[in-house]
């Protein structure tokens, strides 16, 4: 993997680059489509590609459980298995430590609002007996399969072994994605663990990476805490990773400062991936603060659930007012959905619970987000980033 910076955004950490992988170049900044179980939900690879997607991200935990990483290896790796010829990445399972652990059965997301104190638990011990499918030990994480209840112990070494079997171009160190509700003491403890796991991930990767085809990204954690974020960036930077992931929990209000603290420390010449972030405002924020790669389930999950991105904000296509609205989602959108279907038709598909509904909405949403990042990239090339950002955010109303 080679990363080349082509142009920088003046007065910021932003940059435009090209990330070359064994399966092709990624023009950065770029939005990575999430294909957890070796499929971008409801889309076939042609549709993913036509939406402008350059890279797809699979998931270690999910593919390990089903169909099993050995099967994927036998198939020739995740790309070949899913018929995606472009670059691929896999997440390490670190997010499942959060989603199946602290977040299990709760209404918490990794991005929270500071204004919602109900989410901030002063002491974390009062819910230690809450049911969860992931339990953290010092050596790794014990997962109880959501599919069949079987127990699986994932260590950093195991995660890297699985990821080598999955065979993506870029893989991630095993980390602990913490909940935004955790207190400082716990964030510190978790960070130490993530750092040890980073070292172990790297050692295992070096051992397995004999053909030198796979690149490993280390993950910076530290929650919302400035000191921890900086400490983590310094530590992860000191290890021989090919690039970096910025993970963990954020408060919407100070996500930009958290990203900035980290990217001011991380080496300029290596790529940075802001894990799991991808609302339109976040993309501008991330790029401006030196992020090269984003991934997020939002385009496809929102799409399947009937929420659709537009330049003026998200719309819920099932709303009554769209039932007889025969315009496309966006008049000037070049995606397959907008070129061929009306809001009324898509609303009809959703009301009728037709499978095509989620597909058409996902095509548009993915195109919208991927294309937004492309336009942001182009605006840096054209020296119009700040104007473009201002214009976009002026029109875009997030709810």
Q: Is there a binding annotation on residue 177? A: no
Site map 198..237 versus RNA, x via CB under 7 A? ---------------------x------------------
Is there binding between residue 111 and RNA (CB under 7 A)?
A: yes
Is there binding between residue 344 and RNA (CB under 7 A)?
A: no
Is there binding between residue 345 and RNA (CB under 7 A)?
A: no
Confirm if 181 and 126 have CB atoms less than 8 A apart.
no
Q: Is there a binding annotation on residue 92? A: yes
Q: Which of 69, 91, 169, 242 is flagged as catalytic? A: 91
Write out the two tokens for 117: 């104190």
Min dist. Cβ of residue 398 to RNA (A): 8
Cα separation, 116 vs 260, in Å, equals 24
Q: Which stretch binds RNA (CB under 7 A): 183-191, 197-205, 337-345, 353-361?
A: 353-361
Cα separation, 193 vs 191, in Å, equals 5
Residue 295's SS3 state is strand
Q: Can you list the positions of beta strands (E) in 128-214? A: 134-136, 141-144, 151-154, 170-172
Cα separation, 9 vs 28, in Å, equals 13
User: Which residues contact residue 57 at a Cβ distance below 8 angstroms, ignoring those fewer than 6 apart?
Assistant: 32, 33, 34, 35, 36, 88, 89, 90, 91, 295
Q: Got the DSSP string for 249-284?
A: -EEGGGHHHHHHHHHHHS-TTS-EEETT---HHHHH
Is there binding between residue 186 and RNA (CB under 7 A)?
A: no
Q: Which stretch binds RNA (CB under 7 A): 10-18, 69-77, 313-321, 325-333?
A: 313-321
Q: Which of 129, 183, 295, 382 is flagged as catalytic? A: 295
Specify the DSSP class assigned to residue 53: -
Q: Is there a binding annotation on residue 248? A: yes
**Does the annotation count 91 as an active-site position?**
yes
Specify the DSSP class assigned to residue 119: G
Is there binding between residue 358 and RNA (CB under 7 A)?
A: yes
Q: Environment class of residue 160 by beta-carbon count within 10 Å: exposed (0-12), middle (13-18) or buried (19+)?
A: buried
Cβ nearer to RNA, comparing 165 with 365 = 365
Site map 13..52 versus RNA, x via CB under 7 A? ---------------------x-x---xxx----------
The kind and range of the H/E element at 214 are none
Q: Is there a binding annotation on residue 143? A: no
Q: Is there a binding annotation on residue 242? A: no
Candidate residues 109, 142, 342, 378; the one interacting with RNA per rule CB under 7 A:
109
**Does the annotation count 295 as an active-site position?**
yes
Cα separation, 183 vs 202, in Å, equals 28
Burial 49-67 (b: 16+ CB within 10 A, else e): bebbbbbbbbbbbbbbbee
Is there binding between residue 133 and RNA (CB under 7 A)?
A: yes
Cα separation, 299 vs 297, in Å, equals 6
Q: Is there a binding annotation on residue 333? A: yes
Cβ nearer to RNA, comparing 58 with 290 = 58
Is there binding between residue 295 and RNA (CB under 7 A)?
A: yes
Min dist. Cβ of residue 382 to RNA (A): 26
Q: Which stretch binds RNA (CB under 7 A): 16-24, 182-190, 276-284, 385-393?
A: 276-284
Candidate residues 84, 143, 172, 341; the one interacting with RNA per rule CB under 7 A:
172
Q: Which stretch binds RNA (CB under 7 A): 182-190, 231-239, 332-340, 347-355?
A: 347-355
Q: Is there a binding annotation on residue 175? A: yes
Which residue is associated with the tokens 């799991």?
A: 276
Q: Which residues bind RNA (CB under 7 A)?
A: 34, 36, 40-42, 57, 59, 61-62, 91-92, 94-96, 98-100, 104-105, 109-111, 133, 146, 172, 175, 177, 219, 245, 247-248, 252, 275-279, 282, 295-298, 300-302, 304-307, 314, 316, 318-321, 323, 351, 353, 355, 358, 399
Known catalytic residues are 91, 295
């Amino acid at each position: 993997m080679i990363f080349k910076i082509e142009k920088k955004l003046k007065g910021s950490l932003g940059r435009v680059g090209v990330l070359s992988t064994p399966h092709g170049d990624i023009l950065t900044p770029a939005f990575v489509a999430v294909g957890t179980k070796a499929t971008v939900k409801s889309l076939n690879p042609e549709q993913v590609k036509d939406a402008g997607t350059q890279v797809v991200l699979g998931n270690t935990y999910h593919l390990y459980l089903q169909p099993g990483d050995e099967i994927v290896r036998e198939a020739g790796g995740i790309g070949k298995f899913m018929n995606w010829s472009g670059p691929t990445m896999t997440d390490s399972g670190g997010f499942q430590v959060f989603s199946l652990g602290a977040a299990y059965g709760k209404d918490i997301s990794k991005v929270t609002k500071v204004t919602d104190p109900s989410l901030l638990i002063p002491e974390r011990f009062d819910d230690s007996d809450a049911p969860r499918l992931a339990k953290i030990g010092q050596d790794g994480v014990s997962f109880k399969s959501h599919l069949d209840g079987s127990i699986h112990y994932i260590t950093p070494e195991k995660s890297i072994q699985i990821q080598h079997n999955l065979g993506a171009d870029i893989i991630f160190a095993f980390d602990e994605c913490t909940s935004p509700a955790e207190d400082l003491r716990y964030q510190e403890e978790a960070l130490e663990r993530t750092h040890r796991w980073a070292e172990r991930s790297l050692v295992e990767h070096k051992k397995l990476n004999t053909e030198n085809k796979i690149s490993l990204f280390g993950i910076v954690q530290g929650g919302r805490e400035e000191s921890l974020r900086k400490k983590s960036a310094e530590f992860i930077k000191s290890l021989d990773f090919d690039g970096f992931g910025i993970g963990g929990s954020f408060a919407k209000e100070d996500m930009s400062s958290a990203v900035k603290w980290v990217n001011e420390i991380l080496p300029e010449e290596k790529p940075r991936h802001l894990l799991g972030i991808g609302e339109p405002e976040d993309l501008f924020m991330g790029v401006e603060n030196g992020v090269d790669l984003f991934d997020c389930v939002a385009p496809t999950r929102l799409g399947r659930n009937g929420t659709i991105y537009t330049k003026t904000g998200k719309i819920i296509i099932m709303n009554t007012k769209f039932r007889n609205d025969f315009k496309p989602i966006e008049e000037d959108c070049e995606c397959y959905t907008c070129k061929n279907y009306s809001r009324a038709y898509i609303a009809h598909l959703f009301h009728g619970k037709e499978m095509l509904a989620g597909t058409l909405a996902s095509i548009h949403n993915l195109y919208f987000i991927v294309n937004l990042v492309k336009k942001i990239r182009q605006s840096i090339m054209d020296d119009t980033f700040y104007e473009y950002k201002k214009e976009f955010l002026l029109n875009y109303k997030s709810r």
